[in-house]
Amino acid sequence: MRVQSSATATPRIAVTTPGQRTGPGGTLQAALGVTAFSLTFPATAWGLEGFGPWSLVAVRSVLAALIAVCCLLALRVAPPDRRHWPGLAVVAAGVVLGFPLLTTLALQTSTTAHAAVVVGLLPLTTALFSALRMGTRPSRTFWVAALAGAAAVLAFTVQQSGGALTAADGYLGAALLVCAAGYTEGGRLARVMPGWQVIGWALVLCLPLTVAASALALSYEPVRLTAHGMAGLLWVAAGSQFLGLVVWYRGMAAIGIPRASQLQLAQPLLTLVWSVLLLGEHLTAAAPLTAAAVLVCIAVTQRSRS
């Protein structure tokens, strides 16, 4: 079930050849991942209505791991080679444990609009991690468009939050770094194994810890079984923690980490739309202008040569 040979894995990657064009499949999968991720903060806010922060993070990881275990067992997937486990540990620390925990703690005192500033910087940070870790060298046009898109998103989200820093900003900054590292390592591993196996094995790796953490957290934090709480928990477990990462890593493997990461420039704006529809938060008239600017930046990064 695993892709063993580098000869079979290499054609799936569209990263380094100058001027190379890829089909829409990888871009579409990465975009589906971004859409799934854009619901994470509103769903987390819902989940916090019924669960404590530590319980929510631990239980969501356990549920996502159970989905992964069922898929791995059903398809009789052999464990990855030993050389891949350190990379899977980075994925686990970044996207299974670190980012969910840090952003959930931040959302106790921060609105989803303010927390979206993390995602506004995540595409640029991921591209930087990719350049350092994998030696990718996007063009100058790419970097200019990426910086412009990040600046537009930052300006909008800071304006939405009134321009004030909160105690949650430390959590959000740390979440930014660990998530970018997890995305970069996951995109690298998706070159040699299917994307769903990358997140699947990362979830399995964390399972002993998350099961113990769930039992401990649930014994200390009160639980209120509300419709919003359960819906939020189920989405962050199945949608954000597993299915979203499956299509995201597949997309990164197909079109390259830098280009895929820039699609996330749209994520904060999508999150803000969901925050209006699901949480009743209010946006300003600057939203459509920022959306247009970000879409232009995304178009430039997707057409630029790597």
Indicate whether 251 pLDDT > 60: yes
In the predicted model, what is the mean pLDDT of the chain?
82
Average pLDDT over residues 103-121: 77
Q: In this structure, are residues 89 and 204 in contact, taking their beta carbons and an 8 Å threshold? A: no
Taking the CB of residue 285, how many other CB atoms lie within 10 A of it? 6
Q: CA 187, CA 249: separation in Å to the nearest integer?
A: 6
Q: Is residue 117 very low, low, confident or very high in pLDDT (cuts 50, 70, 90)?
A: low
Q: Which of 27, 19, 9 is nearest to 255 (CA)?
A: 27
Runs of H (alpha helix) within the chain = 6-9, 24-38, 40-47, 53-74, 85-91, 99-106, 112-134, 140-160, 169-189, 195-220, 227-234, 244-255, 257-262, 267-279, 286-303
Res 206 pLDDT > 70:
yes
- pLDDT confidence band for 5 (50 / 70 / 90): very low
CA distance 248 to 183: 9
The pLDDT of 95-119, averaged and rounded, is 82
Interior CA angle at 242 toward 238 and 243, to 5°?
Answer: 80
- What tens digit of pLDDT does each residue of 43-97 get? 999 999 999 999 999 999 999 999 999 999 999 999 999 999 999 999 999 999 9
Pick the more confident residue, 135 or 184.
Answer: 184
Please give the Cα distance from 70 to 75 (Å, whole number): 9
268 neighbors 116 (Cβ within 8 angstroms): yes
